[in-house]
Amino acid sequence: MSTASSADESDAPRYSLSHVSRKRKGAKVESASAPKRRSQRIASQNSDLTVATSQLRLSSSLNPSYDLSNLVVSDTSANMDINVETDTNVDINVETDTDTDTNMKKEAKEANEKEKKWWAGEGSLGSLGIDEKRLPLILARDVKYNNFMTRVEKIKARRYFDYRNGTITIIELPTGPHEATHVQLSRQFISAFGNARRQDDVVGWGAKSLFTNLPTNEYEEPDACFVPKRLLTQNPALNPCDRDGNPWPTIIFEVASSETLAHIRRKVNDYWLRPNRCEDVIVIKVGNWGTRRRSRNGTTRRPLRRLRCLKFCRAETLRQNPTATTFDPIEEIEFGSVFANGRESYFCTGPHMKWLTIDCDCIFNGCPQPLPSFYHIASSRPFMIPQFPYPLANPGVAIDLFDLQEAIFDAMGPN
Ligand SMILES: [Zn+2]
């Protein structure tokens, strides 16, 4: 299933950087995401005072294009109150967070008879009635690709399944938190283009079918993806993602709840970041629920959940290591309310504490020069100027992960 269409390797590259990785195909794999490099990058984002200062004028409220008071996102202070004094069955979710990196190797379970029957039938995903904790779950083996596609197309659920060498695994479910996460992240990202000129706009393609092999009809679906309008002017694209000649989107969002990071990494390397395809893949890893923590007076209970944002960036990986042939996250941002060991954390208790940034260069990669260049802060709390550190070191979009966290906590419902 990791077969790539021949167009990937033979067409003129959309990006000059892709020369490098193709030349070294099959070479020794070297990770470009050593922790040291990652921390250096984060440090450089936060400490470049010169850049930050020069950006202040851009985000000034004098410029209506960057009106910080006109931003998307719910009133997060109200969200906290909703969770107060709801019900008292706190101890139902006593399970501690086991969502450490060890579950990268989480083995898939085998389906029981009822679940196998579901696959053989025609029922929708909802009628499977499966507990998310059983995922990933192997539903069938020795299935022909066409039969697999017919079944998942009927229920419009390609992105919740994995097909590999005839084996069908269900890897994710359209749960409230899973769907709320990519919808909220998409909403924050797209808000950056609210005032963009028409030609500088970005089109949201949602979970569009992206053909990883056109001749064999194989395709994958991300949770959400985005393409700059400027890329759509050349049709057919050099390396189209569908039969209509559309280019690959530059930005992909993936939410992994029961899906393992190992599976995501494989998708990134086998499909999304192959030459002449996407630029950035943003992964939100949603951990298991822990018990809510009571405040001292017992009236408030804080949801406990480990949340991580992993950013794969093709260009940055190749900048750090020009011979890289595989892509690992260049940044891993912990937000949420617990550490890896399940203990409560306080590193994302309010707005402006944790940022995801996406560079204009990545969003508009492959577009005719000059690329659009702007600074946009997507946060429910206006970003008062001057403020330091400024989240954006380069032109692009900064997304306040606190807002995303609160949307995920809301989707969890009272517990
Ligand atoms: Zn990038």
Residue 272 identity (one-letter amino acid)? W
In a domain, 142, yes or no: no
In a domain, 120, yes or no: no
Which residue has better confidence, 29 or 153?
A: 153
Which residue has better confidence, 252 or 94?
A: 252
In a domain, 375, yes or no: yes
Residue 414: per-residue pLDDT: 67
Question: 113 pLDDT band (50/70/90 cuts)?
Answer: confident
Tell me the residue length of the chain: 415
**Three-class SS state of 333:** strand
- Is 186's pLDDT higher than 60? yes
Are 385 and 60 in contact, with CB atoms under 8 Å apart? yes
Please choose, from the candidates 223, 182, 227, 222, the residue with its C-alpha nearest in 3D space to the C-alpha of residue 204: 227
Residues 6 or more apart whose Cβ sits within 8 Å of residue 9: 22, 275
Segment 238-259 shows an average pLDDT of 95
- Is 17's pLDDT higher than 80? no
User: 208 C-alpha vs ligand 1 centroid, how far in Å?
Assistant: 20
User: 359 C-alpha vs ligand 1 centroid, how far in Å?
Assistant: 6
DSSP label of 19: H
User: 282 C-alpha vs ligand 1 centroid, how far in Å?
Assistant: 10
Question: 271 pLDDT band (50/70/90 cuts)?
Answer: very high
DSSP letters, 112-142, are -HHHHHHHHS---SGGG---GGG-SEEEESS
DSSP letters, 373-392, are --EEEE-SS---SS-SS-S-
How many CA atoms lie less than 13 Å away from 214 in the CB half-sphere? 14
Q: How far is CA 229 from CA 60, 182, 199, 238, 240, in A?
A: 26, 21, 6, 16, 15
In a domain, 166, yes or no: no
In a domain, 165, yes or no: no
- Cα–Cα distance measured from residue 378 to residue 190, given in angstroms and rounded to the nearest whole number: 9
Window from 91-100, 248-257, 361-370 with minimum mean pLDDT: 91-100
User: 188 C-alpha vs ligand 1 centroid, how far in Å?
Assistant: 18
In a domain, 239, yes or no: yes
- Is 165's pLDDT higher than 80? yes
Residue 212: per-residue pLDDT: 93
- Cα–Cα distance measured from residue 178 to residue 173, given in angstroms and rounded to the nearest whole number: 8
- Cα–Cα distance measured from residue 329 to residue 288, given in angstroms and rounded to the nearest whole number: 21
pLDDT digits (tens, 9 = 90+) for 34-66: 444 444 444 344 433 333 333 333 333 233 333
Nearest 5°: the CA angle 71, 77, 79 is 100
- Cα–Cα distance measured from residue 19 to residue 322, given in angstroms and rounded to the nearest whole number: 10
- Cα–Cα distance measured from residue 326 to residue 265, given in angstroms and rounded to the nearest whole number: 9
Percent of the chain having pLDDT more than 90? 42
Q: Which two tokens stand for residue 33?
A: 């995401």
Which residue has better confidence, 85 or 402?
A: 402
How many domains, the chain?
Answer: 1
pTM over 0.85: no
User: 280 C-alpha vs ligand 1 centroid, how far in Å?
Assistant: 5
Q: Which two tokens stand for residue 359?
A: 């560079």
Segment 314-321 shows an average pLDDT of 96
Q: Which residues surround ligand 1, an ion (CB under 5 A)?
A: 279-280, 313, 315, 362
Segment 149-154 shows an average pLDDT of 85
Please choose, from the candidates 257, 248, 254, the residue with its C-alpha nearest in 3D space to the C-alpha of residue 266: 254
Per DSSP, the chain holds a count of helices (H) and strands (E) of 12, 17
User: 330 C-alpha vs ligand 1 centroid, how far in Å?
Assistant: 9
DSSP label of 271: I
Question: 303 pLDDT band (50/70/90 cuts)?
Answer: confident
Between helices 176-191 and 401-412, what is the axis angle to 10°?
150
Report the 10 Å Cβ neighbour count for 158.
16
In a domain, 75, yes or no: yes
User: 239 C-alpha vs ligand 1 centroid, how far in Å?
Assistant: 19
Question: 181 pLDDT band (50/70/90 cuts)?
Answer: very high
Strands 137-140 vs 109-110: parallel, antiparallel or unpaired? parallel
- Phi-psi map region of 231: left, alpha, beta (phi>0 left; psi -120 to 50 alpha): alpha
In a domain, 138, yes or no: no
Residue 78: per-residue pLDDT: 32
Which residue has better confidence, 104 or 204?
A: 204
Q: Which two tokens stand for residue 316?
A: 């940055």
Window from 25-34, 262-271, 350-359 with minimum mean pLDDT: 25-34
Percent of the chain having pLDDT more than 70? 70
Residue 298: per-residue pLDDT: 64
Residue 397 identity (one-letter amino acid)? V
Q: Which two tokens stand for residue 159?
A: 């992105």
Burial class (CB in 10 A: 0-12, 13-18, 19+), 160: buried
- Is 119's pLDDT higher than 60? yes
User: 83 C-alpha vs ligand 1 centroid, how far in Å?
Assistant: 36
Q: Which domain holds residue 402?
A: 8-106+174-412
User: 384 C-alpha vs ligand 1 centroid, how far in Å?
Assistant: 27
Question: 7 pLDDT band (50/70/90 cuts)?
Answer: very low
User: 163 C-alpha vs ligand 1 centroid, how far in Å?
Assistant: 28
